[in-house]
Amino acid sequence: MTSTSRPLIGLTATTCPHPKSGAPLEALNRRYIEAIYDAGGIPVLIPTNLPHEAAAALLTRLDGLLLTGGGDIDPAQYGGQAHEAVHEILPARDAMELTLTKIAVAEGIPFLGVCRGLQVVNVALGGTLYEDIPSQYRRPLKHSRNAVTERTLLTHTVKIAKNSRVRRLLGAEEIEVNSLHHQGIRALAEGLEAVAWSSDGLIEAVELPDHPFGIAVQWHPEWLYREHPIHQALFCGLVGAAAAHKGT
At 17, is the secondary structure helix, strand, or coil?
Answer: strand
Q: Parallel, antiparallel, or unpaired for β 129-130 and 111-114? A: unpaired
Catalytic member of 97, 115, 131, 156: 115
How many CA atoms lie less than 13 Å away from 177 in the CB half-sphere?
Answer: 32
For the question of residue 115 being annotated catalytic, the response is yes
Distance set, CA 124 to CA 7, 30, 134, 175, 189 (Å): 25, 26, 24, 27, 8
Alpha carbon distance 142, 134 (integer Å): 8
* Residue type at 202 in one-letter notation: L
Which residue is catalytic, options 143, 181, 182, 220? Answer: 220
Q: How far is CA 113 from CA 23, 65, 81, 137, 218, in A?
A: 28, 8, 24, 22, 8
Catalytic residue among 97, 131, 222, 231: 222
Active site residues: 115, 220, 222
